[in-house]
Amino acid sequence: MLGIRALVVLAALLCAVAAPSSSSPFVVHESRSHVPLGWTPLRRADADMILPLRVGLAQPNLENLEAYIMDVSHPHSSNYGKHWSAAKVAETFRPTAETVDTVRAWLTGSGIEANRVKLTSNGGWLTADVSVAEAERLLGTEYFVYQSANEDQRHIACHEKYHLPEHVSKHVELVSPTLHFDARVGEVDSRPVGLERRNNEARKSSKYAVGQPGFGTSFPKTTGTVEAGSSYGVSLTIALTWGPKQPKVNALLVEYTPQAYLPADLDMFFKKFSPSQVGERPIMNSIDGGYLQTEFTNFSYNGESDLDFQYSMALVGSKQPVNLYQAGDMVEGASFNNLLDALDASYCTFEGGDDPTYDSIYPDPEGGGYEGPEDCGTIKPAYIMSTSYGYNEADLTPAYEQRQCAEYAKLGLMGTTVLYSSGDGGVAGNEDLCLNADGTQTANGTMFNPSFPGTCPYITSVGATQVNPNATVWEPESACEQVIYSGGGFSNVFKMPSYQKAAVERYLSEYPPPYSSAQYNTSGSRGFPDIAANGANYVVAMDGEFELVYGTSAASPVSAAILSAVNDARLAIGKGPIGFINPTIYTAEFMMAFNDITTGSNPGCGTEGFNARPGWDPVTGLGTPNFAKLLPLWLALP
Ligand SMILES: *[C@@H]1O[C@H](CO)[C@@H](O)[C@H](O)[C@H]1NC(C)=O
Ligand SMILES: *[C@@H]1O[C@H](CO)[C@@H](O)[C@H](O)[C@H]1NC(C)=O
Ligand SMILES: *[C@@H]1O[C@H](CO)[C@@H](O)[C@H](O)[C@H]1NC(C)=O
Ligand SMILES: *[C@@H]1O[C@H](CO)[C@@H](O)[C@H](O)[C@H]1NC(C)=O
C-alpha cells in the first residue's frame, strides 16, 4: 500500500564511495535492502543539481519516553493522571544546544558555508540547500535518478544506505532526501525530490495518499445493500446506558480528504436508529484545508466517514458533540504527520521539516491547493482520537516510524487516548500483501506483515470481533471471520513494551503458535492489537442506501465512543481524562473487565494466522471493552 511496495533490485552496490575525511569514522546511519515496487535506477543524478537537505536532529530524553509515559499512565504510579502541559513536552524533547552545535559544525566543517545552514523555528531540523556533489560527500553515498514503472515519474534518492560521522550520527534521527521514496504516485518532474509535486489531475487520481480509495484494507468492506432489518445493526445493541453528564467535547475522529461523510446519510441513519439525533453533525475542525468534498461520492469516498460518524455519534449520544478533524485538501491530501503538526507545535516542522516524500506540504508550493498557512499547533488535542487508516510497517522506514510513534507518546503524556484500527488482512498487510525475507511485499510472500501505527507501542490498537452466526449479542463473540480478518501479530520495528510483557509471554508460552521466525518476529517485539470490538454486519447509511459493512474501521470509533463515556464520567467527578490506556488495561484487574475472546483466528500469508485464546492474543488483544465493568475501575483511579 501507499506505493512503498517492494521489489528485489540489482544487488550491485551502487553506493560504494570513499568516505570523506572527518573527525570520526563514518558509520551507516540508515539503510534499506530494496527500492519500492515499481522504481528502477535510471542514471546518476547530476552533480550540480540542488537538493533541499534536511537533518532531523535527535530529540533528547527519548530513551526515557517509556518511563515518562508509564509514570503518568500506570495506575500503580503515584503520578497517575498527572498529564504534562504542551510546554513541558516541548521543553523536554527540544534538541539540545550540543546537538545543534555538533551537526552545524559538521556541515560547516565539510564546506557548507555557515550562512547556508538554517535551524527551523521549532529547533528540530537543520536545513541547507546543497548540490548533489556536496550531499554525496557529506553522506558517503551516491544519488540516482529513479524512474517509475509507468515511466511518468522521476525521483532522486540515494541507493541502499547513507553514512554520517560517528560523533554526528548519535545527534541525528534522519536525513532527507535520502532513502525515502514518494509514497504517492506523481508526475514527471525533474525538480529536486523535496519539491517534487504531482499536477492536479494526477494528484486527484492518486491512488496511494491517506484517505484515497485504494489506500488499503483498513477501509471498511461492504457486502452490498440491505434492508435495515432488526436482525442487523448489532453494534447499537451495546448502546450505552450512559447519559452524558456534561456538554464537554471529548471525542473525535480523524478523516483524510477526499474521505467525507454525507449529511443526508447521517440523517438517514439517525432517522432509523437514533431519531432524536436527526440534524446533528460532528463539529468540523479543518486541518490544512480539509473540507467535506462532494465532488466524488461513492462507497470508496464516503464509506469510512459515514460509518465512523453514524456509530460514534449514536453511541456517544445527542448531548455530547463528536469532533471531526478533517485533514488535507483535494490536491495535496495529508499524512498522519500533518495531523500531528496541527496538534503539537513542537512537532510541527514549520519551515519544511516534514519529510516531503511522505508528508504533504502547505501552503501548496505549486498552487491549486490549500494556500493558507500550514496548521501548526493550532488545534487542541481532544481526549480521545480514533483513526481508521493505516500503513503496513514495511511501507515506511523504521526511523520515520519511530519518530512518529514518539509523537503519539507525547500526546499520551498530555492525556490523549490514541486509537488506530489494526488492519483487516489478518496476519497479512493491507491489500493482503505479505513479506519476503528481503523486506519486499508481495501477494505470495510468506512472512506476516504488521500494520503501522498499529505496532507503535504508544497507541491503542483495535482489532475486530463478530457476533457468531445465529448467536445473540449476549453470547461470546469470536475473532471476526466474516469478510475481513482482524489485523494482529508482532512488530518488526518496535520492541515489546513492559506493560504487555506478562500478557504476551503468557500467550506465547501457553499457546505456542506453530510458526518460527520465518513467519513472524520472535525476538520479543510489540504484539498487537490491544483490544477489539465488533467489526461485522454494521448497517451503514451510504449514498442513500443501507449497506452491510465490515472492518476494524468500525471497531475503532465504537471503542472511542465507549472510552469517551468513561472520560465523561471521570470529568463529571472532577478527575482527569484516562489518557494513554495501555499500562492500565494490561493490569490484572482491568483485563478481567474485558470480554475475553477465545475462538476464531486471523488467517493470512498462506497460514491460519494466530488463534484467539484465553487472555491476550494477537487477534483480539485483551478482548472487547465491557463498559459496565470498566467504568467503576476507571472511576476509582485518581
Ligand atoms: C468510486 O469512484 C472512483 C472513481 O471516481 C472509482 O475508482 C472507485 O472504484 C469507485 N468505488 C466504488 C466502490 O464504486
Ligand atoms: C511471487 O510474485 C512475484 C510477483 O508479485 C513474482 O515475480 C514471483 O515470481 C512470485 N514467486 C513465486 C515463488 O511464485
Ligand atoms: C443458522 O440457522 C439457519 C436456520 O436455522 C441454518 O440454516 C444455518 O445453517 C445456521 N447457520 C450456522 C452457521 O449455524
Ligand atoms: C524484529 O523486531 C525487532 C524489534 O523488536 C527489530 O529490531 C528486528 O530488526 C526485527 N527483526 C526482523 C527480522 O525484522
Amino acid at 88: K
- Taking the CA of residue 620 as centre, how many other CA atoms within 13 Å lie in the half-sphere pointing to its CB? 30
Neighbouring CB atoms inside 10 A of 166's CB total: 14
Name the residue with cell 490484572. 588
pLDDT band at 197 (very low <50, low <70, confident <90, very high): very low
3-state secondary structure (DSSP) of residue 270: helix
Of the listed ranges 14-23, 68-77, 94-103, 420-429, the least confidently predicted one is 14-23
For ligand 1, the distance from its centroid to the CA atom of residue 360, given in whole angstroms, is 23
For ligand 1, the distance from its centroid to the CA atom of residue 296, given in whole angstroms, is 8
For ligand 3, atom 6, which residue shows the shortest CA distance? 470
State the Cα–Cα distance between residues 70 and 80, nearest whole angstrom: 8
Q: Which of 225, 300, 545, 549 to mutate to test the pocket of ligand 1 (most atoms within 8 A of CB)?
A: 300
For ligand 1, the distance from its centroid to the CA atom of residue 258, given in whole angstroms, is 12
What pLDDT does residue 365 have?
53
Closest ligand to residue 491's CA: 4
Annotated binding site for Ca(2+), which residues? Answer: 596-597, 615, 617
Asked whether residue 241 is domain-assigned, the answer is yes
Q: What angle do CA 433, 438, 441 make, to 5 degrees?
A: 15
Q: Which of 456, 525, 526 to mutate to test the pocket of ligand 4 (most atoms within 8 A of CB)?
A: 525
Give the highest mean pLDDT range of 77-86, 275-284, 410-419, 497-506.
497-506
Partners of 308 in the β-ladder: none
Partners of 542 in the β-ladder: 545
pLDDT band at 235 (very low <50, low <70, confident <90, very high): very low
Asked whether residue 186 is domain-assigned, the answer is no
Ligand 3 closest atom vs CA 469: 13
Q: Are residues 394 and 519 in the same domain?
A: yes
201 is catalytic: no
Neighbouring CB atoms inside 10 A of 87's CB total: 10
Asked whether residue 549 is domain-assigned, the answer is yes
Ligand 3 closest atom vs CA 468: 13
Q: Are residues 437 and 508 in the same domain?
A: yes
Query: Nearest Cα to 374, choosing from 396, 412, 344?
Result: 344
For ligand 4, atom 2, which residue shows the shortest CA distance? 492
Beta carbons of 600 and 482 less than 8 angstroms apart: no
State the Cα–Cα distance between residues 222 and 232, nearest whole angstrom: 14
State the Cα–Cα distance between residues 249 and 382, nearest whole angstrom: 8
The last residue of one of the domains, among 118, 146, 176, is 176
Q: Are residues 154 and 248 in the same domain?
A: no
Using DSSP bridges, classify how beta strands 460-466 and 417-421 pair: parallel, antiparallel or unpaired. Answer: parallel
For ligand 4, atom 12, which residue shows the shortest CA distance? 492
What pLDDT does residue 626 have?
94
The residue range of the domain holding 531 is: 222-344+381-636
Neighbouring CB atoms inside 10 A of 495's CB total: 12
378 backbone dihedrals φ, ψ, rounded to 5°: -90, -15
For ligand 4, atom 1, which residue shows the shortest CA distance? 492
Closest ligand to residue 482's CA: 3
For ligand 2, atom 3, which residue shows the shortest CA distance? 442
Closest ligand to residue 481's CA: 3
For ligand 1, atom 9, which residue shows the shortest CA distance? 300
Beta carbons of 607 and 613 less than 8 angstroms apart: no
Q: Which of 436, 440, 444 to mutate to test the pocket of ligand 2 (most atoms within 8 A of CB)?
A: 444
Q: Of the residues 255, 304, 354, 424, which is catalytic?
A: 304
Q: Are residues 131 and 235 in the same domain?
A: no
C-alpha cell at position 276: 432524536
For ligand 1, atom 11, which residue shows the shortest CA distance? 300
The DSSP output letter for 231 is T
Annotated binding site, which residues? Answer: 596-597, 615, 617
In this structure, the residues whose C-beta lies within 6 A of any atom of ligand 1 are 213, 296, 298-300
How buried is 248 (Cβ within 10 angstroms: 0-12 exposed, 13-18 middle, 19+ buried)? middle
Partners of 425 in the β-ladder: 485
Percentage of the chain beyond pLDDT 70 is 76
State the Cα–Cα distance between residues 528 and 97, nearest whole angstrom: 38
For ligand 2, the distance from its centroid to the CA atom of residue 41, given in whole angstroms, is 21
Expressed in angstroms, the distance from the first to the final Cα of the chain is 43
Name the residue with cell 464516503. 302
Ligand 3 closest atom vs CA 470: 1
Mean pLDDT, the chain, whole residue set = 81
Partners of 222 in the β-ladder: 549
For ligand 4, the distance from its centroid to the CA atom of residue 490, given in whole angstroms, is 9
Q: Of the residues 478, 553, 564, 601, which is catalytic?
A: 553
In this predicted model, what pLDDT tens digit does every residue of 376-396 receive, in sequence order?
555 677 889 898 888 889 887
pLDDT band at 7 (very low <50, low <70, confident <90, very high): very low
For ligand 4, atom 8, which residue shows the shortest CA distance? 492
Asked whether residue 87 is domain-assigned, the answer is yes
Q: Of the residues 308, 393, 481, 568, which is catalytic?
A: 308
Partners of 157 in the β-ladder: 144
For residue 271, pLDDT over 50 is answered with yes
For ligand 4, atom 10, which residue shows the shortest CA distance? 492
Ligand 2 closest atom vs CA 445: 1
The DSSP output letter for 333 is B
Q: Are residues 150 and 239 in the same domain?
A: no
Q: Are residues 137 and 243 in the same domain?
A: no
308 is catalytic: yes
The DSSP output letter for 110 is T
In this structure, the residues whose C-beta lies within 6 A of any atom of ligand 3 are 469-470
In order of 56, 126, 260, 333, the CA distances from 173 in angstroms are 5, 12, 35, 25
Beta carbons of 161 and 30 less than 8 angstroms apart: yes
* DSSP secondary structure, 137-158, as one string: HHHT--EEEEEETTS--EEEEE
Q: Are residues 335 and 460 in the same domain?
A: yes
Beta carbons of 38 and 148 less than 8 angstroms apart: yes
Q: Which of 37, 440, 442 to mutate to test the pocket of ligand 2 (most atoms within 8 A of CB)?
A: 442
Number of domain units in the chain: 2
Q: Are residues 112 and 172 in the same domain?
A: yes
3-state secondary structure (DSSP) of residue 323: strand
461 is catalytic: no
Asked whether residue 9 is domain-assigned, the answer is no
261 backbone dihedrals φ, ψ, rounded to 5°: -85, 155
Asked whether residue 272 is domain-assigned, the answer is yes
Of the listed ranges 189-203, 205-219, 231-245, 573-587, the least confidently predicted one is 189-203
In this predicted model, what pLDDT tens digit does every residue of 447-503 receive, in sequence order?
999 999 999 999 999 999 999 999 988 899 999 999 999 999 999 999 999 999 999
In order of 255, 368, 380, 416, the CA distances from 328 in angstroms are 9, 13, 17, 22
State the Cα–Cα distance between residues 457 and 435, nearest whole angstrom: 21
Beta carbons of 464 and 552 less than 8 angstroms apart: yes
In order of 111, 165, 460, the CA distances from 21 in angstroms are 12, 9, 46
Beta carbons of 265 and 302 less than 8 angstroms apart: yes
Q: Are residues 272 and 135 in the same domain?
A: no
Calculate mean pLDDT across residues 200-214. 40
For residue 236, pLDDT over 70 is answered with no
Please name the residue ranges forming H helices in 417-537. Answer: 501-510
The last residue of one of the domains, among 121, 150, 176, is 176
3-state secondary structure (DSSP) of residue 183: coil
For ligand 2, the distance from its centroid to the CA atom of residue 434, given in whole angstroms, is 12
C-alpha cell at position 403: 519518530
Asked whether residue 181 is domain-assigned, the answer is no
Closest ligand to residue 31's CA: 4
For ligand 1, the distance from its centroid to the CA atom of residue 306, given in whole angstroms, is 16
Asked whether residue 451 is domain-assigned, the answer is yes
For ligand 3, the distance from its centroid to the CA atom of residue 467, given in whole angstroms, is 14
pLDDT band at 189 (very low <50, low <70, confident <90, very high): very low
Sequence-ordered list of residues with C-beta below 8 angstroms from that of 593, at least 6 positions apart, any chain: 625, 626, 629, 630, 633
Q: Are residues 152 and 246 in the same domain?
A: no
State the Cα–Cα distance between residues 118 and 132, nearest whole angstrom: 18
In order of 145, 178, 431, the CA distances from 29 in angstroms are 21, 11, 31
For residue 146, pLDDT over 50 is answered with yes
For residue 411, pLDDT over 70 is answered with yes
Q: Are residues 518 and 448 in the same domain?
A: yes
For ligand 1, the distance from its centroid to the CA atom of residue 300, given in whole angstroms, is 6
Q: Which of 231, 466, 467, 470 to mutate to test the pocket of ligand 3 (most atoms within 8 A of CB)?
A: 470
Q: Are residues 515 and 597 in the same domain?
A: yes
The last residue of one of the domains, among 161, 176, 191, is 176
CATH number at residue 587: 3.40.50.200
Amino acid at 181: F
State the Cα–Cα distance between residues 562 and 407, nearest whole angstrom: 24
In this structure, the residues whose C-beta lies within 6 A of any atom of ligand 4 are 492-495, 521, 523, 525
Q: What angle do CA 623, 624, 625 make, to 5 degrees?
A: 120
Partners of 254 in the β-ladder: 325, 387
